[in-house]
Amino acid sequence: MTPTVGVLALQGDVREHLAALASLDVQAIAVRRPGELDACDGLVIPGGESTTMAKLARIFELLDPLRKRVEAGMPTFGTCAGMILLADRVLDGTSDQETVGGLDITVRRNAFGRQVDSFEGPLAMAGLDAPVHAVFIRAPWVEETGPGVEVLSRVERGEAAGRVVAVRQGSLMATSFHPEVGGDARVHRLFVDLVRS
Ligand code: GLN
C-alpha cells in the first residue's frame, strides 16, 4: 500500500518537501487541519520559523493532535525549525515558545551564530554511503541527547566541529539542515523507509 506522508503546511518551505516526497512513491499531502493529519502515516515538519509555526499550530488546533500522534508513534521528520518543534527542550527560544516535543534532545536555536548563520557543504550521515549536500539556514544544533537518541551526523570541520546535526529516536528523525533543497531525496528516503517499516 502507498503510504500517505504529510507535510505540516502552516509556514515554511512546504513545497520543497512535497516535491522531494512525491519523487519517492508516497502520497504526499499538505497538512493544515486535524482531519488531514488523521490521514497521514508519517509527517514532515519543515523549516521556517519555529515560534511562528508553533503559534499557528495552536491557532489551527493542531498542536495537541500533533502531540498525540507523535506520542502514539507516528513517524515524524523535522528539519531545522521542524527539529526545534520536535525537541523536548529548547535553548534560546522565546519565553513562551511551545513545541510538539517527543524527541529527547535539547536544541539551541540559531546556534551557529551570526558569522556563519547560513552555510552549506558535504556532510556524512549514518545510513547514506555518500555525503549529502547539507544547507544550514539559521540552523539549530543538538546540544544534548537522551539515552534513546542515535546521532546520525555531526559537523565535521570549523568552529562547530563535533556538533550534532542529525538524530533519530525510534520513529522520530530530525536534521538541523535542509535536505529538501538541492534535489537529493536520499534523506527523505531514509524517512520514508521508516514510515514503511
Ligand atoms: N531559526 C529558525 C527557528 O528558530 C529556524 C530556521 C530554519 O528553519 N531555516 O525557528
Dihedral pair phi/psi, residue 101, rounded to 5°: 75, -175
Q: What is the pLDDT of residues 64-79, one digit of tens each?
A: 999 999 999 999 999 9
Q: What is the pLDDT of residues 92-114, one digit of tens each?
A: 999 999 999 999 999 999 999 86
Q: What is the pLDDT of residues 171-184, one digit of tens each?
A: 999 999 999 997 89
Per DSSP, the residues of 97-127 read: ------EEEEEETTTTTTTTSEEEEEE--TT
Q: Where are the domains of the chain?
A: 4-196
Distance CA 157, CA 24 (A): 32
Distance 1 CA to ligand 1 centre (A): 34
Active-site annotation holds for 178: yes
Q: Which three cell numbers stand for residue 93?
A: 527560544
Task: Tell me the pTM.
Answer: 0.97
Q: Above pLDDT 90, what percent of the chain?
A: 93
Fold (topology level) of 4-196: Rossmann fold (3.40.50)
Pocket test for ligand 1, best of 8, 11, 49 (most atoms within 8 A of CB): 49
Let me know: does 92 contact 109? Beta carbons within 8 Å. Answer: yes
- Read off the pLDDT of each residue in 106-128 and give the average, rounded to a whole number: 90
Assign 115 a pLDDT band (cuts: 50, 70, 90).
low
Query: What phi-psi label fits residue 137: left (phi over 0), alpha (psi between -120 and 50 degrees) or beta?
Result: beta
Distance CA 63, CA 54 (A): 7
Kindly state the DSSP code that residue 51 receives in the 8-state scheme: H
Question: Average pLDDT over the chain, rounded to whole?
Answer: 96
